Amino acid sequence: MTIIFLSNYNIPNLHFTSSSFVAPPFTSFQKYPTPPPLKRFSLIRDPPNRFSVICFSSVPDGMDTAASTSLYPFHRSKTIHLVRHAQGIHNVEGEKNHDAYLSYDLFDAHLTPLGWQQVSNLHKHVHETGLAKKIELVITSPLLRTMQTAVGVFGGEGYADGIDAPPLMVADAGNSNHAAISSLNSPPFIAVELCREHLGVHPCDKRRSITEYKSLFPAINFSLIESNDDILWTADVREANEEVAKRGMKFVNWLWTRKEKEIAVVTHSGFLYHTLSAFGNDCHPSIKSEICTHFANCELRSMVIVDRSMIGSDAPTTNYPGKIPSGLDLPSDVAAEKHPKQGASQ
């Protein structure tokens, strides 16, 4: 049984209101339009054998709606593979003393040696499961620890001079003590500001200039980031949880402007927690918990997002119209309605 994870808006089953809102490509989320009040998306955990359609069934009186089976057209869905970055130096120091998060020694925190081991293990997992071959796009937060995680998990193997493709990461990028990583046989990578961690106050969440990043991660696309310097982070104001959640919904809206159907997103614990907390309130508490529980370092969870408006209006690629060649095909039950006397005599 497939279970829909609804957002926290009250939307009656099978009465979905479409919206004319279409999210344009963005360069800075400060200029990004606020999404309409109606949340159009649902989340489901991606099962081992994925169903081709999902949408609500009618529910008999007295039956728990959270346990109802669901159907929806497959081409109006996307699979997203959500990953929290591997262990960073700020995770270690913050565990010892929370005040360490205020230290500029942790500016744009990079991965620890343990974090790189976590990356290596997840890299093996996505290849052993065949997931690496399915992913069409990798979206990463433009911070050192998330980009190191993204290229280490979803990138190619070691890079060698003379290869006719830029590396995803140069050797020793960001104090990594790690070999260069190739972009060969890898999906495209793009950096997106919308999926950053809480902004402000903590130097570990402040990014470097895009110019510096481009020299460290030559094959990552930074074209959607408007400002070279980090104009979003402020030293004296920490972004509120509600603001992170709102930014997360803008990010989900933006995903529907992408043509890719299977996307990996490498981001942060706070961003994931507050974004996903908007979903699953109509589900069984155990399922709500499964969606919203804080991610461990380098944890991957696969979800399906469903567009219940017309934003994701791509034509289906697997549907087949039938009647080729054309011929009579009146169903028997329809024939009985069309010829009631004949049907009654049989």
SS3 65: helix
Instruction: Give me the long-range contacts of 209-216 (CB less than 8 A, separation at least 24).
Output: 210/142, 213/142, 213/147, 215/170, 216/147, 216/169, 216/170, 216/173, 216/174
The secondary structure of residue 32, as a DSSP letter, is S
CA distances from 48 to 74, 129, 204 (A): 16, 11, 37
Closest CA to 167 of 55, 176, 64: 176
Q: Hey, what's the torsion of the CAs at 270, 272, 273, 276, to 10 degrees?
A: 150
Please state, in angstroms and rounded to a whole number, the distance separating the CA atoms of residues 72 and 55.
4
Annotated catalytic residue within 110, 197, 268, 274:
197
Please state, in angstroms and rounded to a whole number, the distance separating the CA atoms of residues 244 and 275.
7
Helices (H), strands (E): how many in the chain?
10, 7
Closest CA to 143 of 12, 20, 266: 266
SS3 153: helix
CA dihedral for 243, 249, 255, 257, sign (positive or negative): negative
What ranges in 63-111 are assigned the alpha helix state H? Answer: 89-96
Q: How many CB atoms lie within 10 A of CB 51?
A: 16
Is 85 considered catalytic here? Answer: yes
Closest CA to 204 of 126, 295, 268: 268
Annotated catalytic residue within 75, 81, 85, 268:
85
SS3 226: coil
Is 268 considered catalytic here? Answer: no
Please state, in angstroms and rounded to a whole number, the distance separating the CA atoms of residues 63 and 234.
50
What is the set of active-site residues?
A: 85, 197
